[in-house]
Structure 1
Amino acid sequence: MLTNLQSLNFCELRYSQIRLIHLLKQCLELFFSTFCEQSQLTCSRQSTSHSALTRQRFKIRRSRLLEDAFDQLSLLSEEDLKGPIRVSFINEHGEEEVGIDGGGIFKDFMENITRAAFDVQYGLFKETADHLLYPNPGSGLVHELHLQYFHFLGSLLGKAMYEGILVDLPFATFFLSKLKQKYNFLNDLPSLDPELYRHLLFLKHYNGDISELELYFVIVNNEYGEQCEEELLPGGRHMRVTNDNVITFIHLVANHRLNYQIRAQSTHFLRGFQQLIPKDWIDMFNEHEIQVLISGSLESLDIDDLRSNTNYSAGYHPDHELIEMFWEVLKSLSSDNQKKFLKFVTGCSRGPLLGFQYLEPKFCIQRAGVPGLEEHADRLPTSATCMNLLKLPPYKSKEQMQTKLLYAINSEAGFDLS
């Protein structure tokens, strides 16, 4: 019995070692492939910047952010898209906002335009039950130029990845497959419509006479209150679903929802995306890894890594008493609040895949207010996401700092919060 137990323990240990080796191999492959892509993108950016004689400059009204950007940037060639783009904002009074775009204003522009364009209220994208984004099949009912907009949004996402700008856009897996030009199947349906998936599985395992259910090879689309029936096969309205053809019916329904309905939107989005990100680059990654490249790491916030890659200004330094207090407060926050903090200061709730040394520009903590003025110690912290900057007042206690910080990061305010 002891021999059997020793043999069992050895097998368990051996199995654990094999699993660990496999996991390490996956991590190394991801790191290497990501490093390769980062290197290729960097070389491409450097090559483009050397060849670009002039920078593209655009004036964008904040009140018509998406429309102005579409009208101007969608006319750019592939070479121009890869080159430096500089933006100046026009405020509600028609005046150009003060500021020199050294990259920070463009990052602010990218954060704001992606937030506006991919908002489900705008009508180009919809959300799954898990709040993951995918193209709205009925986008043509909302926007006459919807396909041109999808091409534009594809190039925007490509530009963000090309420049290493993280954007908080959680995409549905079946849509990310389209960036790899892959076909979706029945097993992908739960991520879009789990209820429909359950109904189709019910049909697959139904023991009775399926023809009695009075189903036909049609599917009903309901977009903005308008119902229309589409045939899954020519003559589908007159083709009853039976035990003999039910498997064909199930796969046709899944194909319609996952591929056919969004085929035009996905095709135009992909064309725009590939203006900056070639297919052979994106093919190095699976869908999960692509999402990480778009929005950053899914891991918990690495406070120590962030701290070792932080700059300080206006009187603060790494050993300042208040800075020591700040890092203690940040470590004490819940994982959700740490993500909210990161979004508050950088515009994205996730850190860069390879660590904060790749955050551009580096996170900076700046003393807020004028030294010696007591009233500044009662203000809330503010941020400038375009510069990854936290403006931190000189609070008198850890409790006060935590209260003010939690209020600020949960208020979804920013530059002028006080």
Structure 2
Amino acid sequence: MVDPKNRYYQHECHNKTHGGTDNTMDANHYGAYQLYVVSGLTLLRCAKPCFPMRNVDGCIPLHRQTLGVDAQRKQWTRDIDAVGEAYWNNAPGIPPTPSAIIYLVHSTRSSYASTAALALSPLTAASASKTLLGDPIASWWLPNLKTLRSYNFSIKYAWLLEQLSLVYTGHTKIEVRRATLMPMSLKLLGEIKPDNLCTKTKVTLLGESAVDAGGVSREWYTLVTMAIFETKEGLFMVANKDDQSFFINPNSERDHGPNHLADFQAVGRLLGRAIIDGQVLPFHFCVPLFKMLLGYPVSIEDVRYLDLTVYSNLTYIRDCDDRVAPQLQRLVQGLYDVLPQELLMPFDYKELELILCGFSEIDVGDWKRSTNVTQTLEDVVGWFWEVVEFDMTPSDRAKLLQFTTGSSRVPLQGFKGLTSYDGRLCPFNLYGIPYHVGAFPRGHSCFNRIDLPIYPSRELMKDALFALVAMESLEFTIV
């Protein structure tokens, strides 16, 4: 396996072109940005967000949100001592958890990939100086990381988007059939060659007429993710029945099959590619697993996010260590096959959840404000929004959104953040078309658009929209 950090974004040429040294850049030339380099990866710090963001702290899906739980997000951060060494710092005002029950995921790789694993071990100063895969963190990166972590989520996310826009070019094609969507997708994700990992994704659903201008990819991400987290697949299990959050199934080899480790790595690659492609996915890991993906300490407090009838204390996590270690290793390896860990270090587990999962709650007011409507619909568009807001359930609205955009989730920036395949902003559109008996709305998910017949009554429009969301399969025959 090629070390991800050795094949990302070789842009020292930018430094030289604009008069800087190998590790500096003319700040005046790039305005709001400063340059960082991580083992050949150029990192730019954005001084302010590129677009308005929703109120993150108020809107991120929280599990059993309380002030105490929210404070735990900031409990442990990497800090630097007087001699420049990294250590885990416990935030002021938050009682420290006894070190005997603080555990950090760390690398226990062997010379054989099949036996590689991640384990939970006592928290030590040394563990803050390495990535999850055991690579040392550059000492000069640590103060820059501390600065980045001090910014609010909007600025950090804008910084991440800037990195992705500079690093990831070109496309990798995924060609799958809807009938075998999950196994084919995981197989192809696992087979992507290292040279093609740093690319965006274009999807073809074989046997369907749509060309992927964005909508097919969004639909693919949604459907594959939903299939992966079906408990019958045996890769993940529900960790908390209250919020339907997931943890690795320790019996995945039995329940999924002998290729379970390869599929965990493919799932990790799917998560990494979703971040690259700006996709949000319909799932939630439990908090301990989000922390493990970032390499954050896991403690007894995290048990509150698990089903307390099953996981009564930290003993379960300790006992499961050996049983999920290989799966965790491959999941993490897949994620960081695609993304260097440095890109995610500025974020806490709650922010990572937001990046990967977006918002499941649909704000109809935001949707309405961010929609372009043709003049031909002016007399009847009010019916559309009445049906969406007052007649539809949250599940119905999610299905309608999936039909029209390819995704059932709202982007991090709200509806203003809807994009086309190339990442350019592409607002939601309602386009009026003539009505005839039996006329049905048509979706153009690649362009976030509904062609809406100009119905003569609210009831006819309501019936048509509910028939639309009742469809079991929204195959791509219209683009």
- Taking structure 1 as the reference length, what is the TM-score of the superposition? 0.67
Q: In 2, distance between residues paired with 1:197 and 1:306?
A: 40
Distance 1:28 1:275, change over 3 A: same
Q: In 2, distance between residues paired with 1:335 and 1:154?
A: 32
Q: In 1, distance between residues paired with 2:463 and 2:151?
A: 41
Tell me which residue corresponds to 1:160: 274
Q: Percent identical across equivalent pairs?
A: 24
Asked whether 1:373 is paired with 2:444, we answer no
Measured after TM superposition, the shift of residue 185 of structure 1 is: 2.5
2:265–2:335 Cα contact (<8 Å) kept = yes
1:40 partner letter: Q
Tell me which residue corresponds to 2:384: 326
Q: In 2, distance between residues paired with 1:132 and 1:195?
A: 15
Distance 1:335 1:281, change over 3 A: farther
2:213–2:447 Cα contact (<8 Å) kept = no
Tell me which residue corresponds to 1:219: none
Q: In 2, distance between residues paired with 1:99 and 1:413?
A: 15
Distance 1:345 1:58, change over 3 A: closer
Asked whether 1:139 is paired with 2:252, we answer yes
Distance 1:98 1:415, change over 3 A: closer
Tell me which residue corresponds to 2:44: none
Asked whether 1:360 is paired with 2:360, we answer no
Q: In 1, distance between residues paired with 2:383 and 2:448?
A: 20
Q: In 1, distance between residues paired with 2:294 and 2:408?
A: 25
Q: In 1, distance between residues paired with 2:297 and 2:233?
A: 27
Instruction: Map 1:217-366 onto structure 2 (within 5 A).
Output: 251-257=314-320, 259-297=321-359, 300-311=361-372, 316-317=374-375, 320-333=378-391, 336=394, 337-361=396-420, 362=426, 363-366=428-431
Asked whether 1:176 is paired with 2:302, we answer no
Q: In 1, distance between residues paired with 2:177 and 2:407?
A: 23
Asked whether 1:117 is paired with 2:228, we answer yes
Q: In 1, distance between residues paired with 2:454 and 2:150?
A: 41
Measured after TM superposition, the shift of residue 343 of structure 1 is: 4.1
Q: In 1, distance between residues paired with 2:369 and 2:442?
A: 22
Tell me which residue corresponds to 2:175: 59
- Taking structure 2 as the reference length, what is the TM-score of the superposition? 0.59
Q: Which of residues 187, 211, 223 is equivalent to 1:71?
A: 187
Q: How big is each residue's C-alpha offset from its partner over 1:368-400, in whole Å with a ceiling of 9 and x where there is no partner?
A: 6xx352231xx4x46455553434333222344
Measured after TM superposition, the shift of residue 284 of structure 1 is: 1.9
Q: In 1, distance between residues paired with 2:204 and 2:162?
A: 30
Greater mean deviation of Cα atoms: 345-354 or 329-338: 329-338
2:257 partner letter: H
Q: In 1, distance between residues paired with 2:376 and 2:357?
A: 28
Distance 1:158 1:406, change over 3 A: same
Measured after TM superposition, the shift of residue 36 of structure 1 is: 1.5
Measured after TM superposition, the shift of residue 358 of structure 1 is: 1.8
Q: In 1, distance between residues paired with 2:476 and 2:274?
A: 26
Q: In 2, distance between residues paired with 1:27 and 1:98?
A: 47
Measured after TM superposition, the shift of residue 126 of structure 1 is: 1.2
Q: In 2, distance between residues paired with 1:271 and 1:399?
A: 52
Tell me which residue corresponds to 1:247: none
Q: Secondary structure at the match of 1:375?
A: coil
Distance 1:272 1:191, change over 3 A: same
Which structure shows the bigger proportion of residues in helix conformation? 1
Measured after TM superposition, the shift of residue 269 of structure 1 is: 0.7
Measured after TM superposition, the shift of residue 59 of structure 1 is: 3.2
Q: How big is each residue's C-alpha offset from its partner over 1:395-415, in whole Å with a ceiling of 9 and x where there is no partner?
A: 222344335434543565535
Measured after TM superposition, the shift of residue 152 of structure 1 is: 0.7
Tell me which residue corresponds to 2:214: 103
Tell me which residue corresponds to 2:206: 90
1:293–1:353 Cα contact (<8 Å) kept = yes
1:127–1:134 Cα contact (<8 Å) kept = yes
Q: In 2, distance between residues paired with 1:349 and 1:87?
A: 18
Q: In 2, distance between residues paired with 1:102 and 1:192?
A: 39
Measured after TM superposition, the shift of residue 78 of structure 1 is: 3.8
Distance 1:81 1:367, change over 3 A: farther
Matched residue count: 322
Instruction: Map 1:43-54 onto structure 2 (within 5 A).
Output: 43-45=166-168, 48-49=169-170
1:301–1:339 Cα contact (<8 Å) kept = yes
Q: In 2, distance between residues paired with 1:67 and 1:114?
A: 12
Q: Secondary structure at the match of 2:462?
A: helix
Distance 1:318 1:289, change over 3 A: farther
Distance 1:98 1:405, change over 3 A: closer
1:382–1:414 Cα contact (<8 Å) kept = no
Q: How big is each residue's C-alpha offset from its partner over 1:318-377, in whole Å with a ceiling of 9 and x where there is no partner?
A: 862222332343343567254454345334443212222221233233446xx352231x
2:187–2:263 Cα contact (<8 Å) kept = no
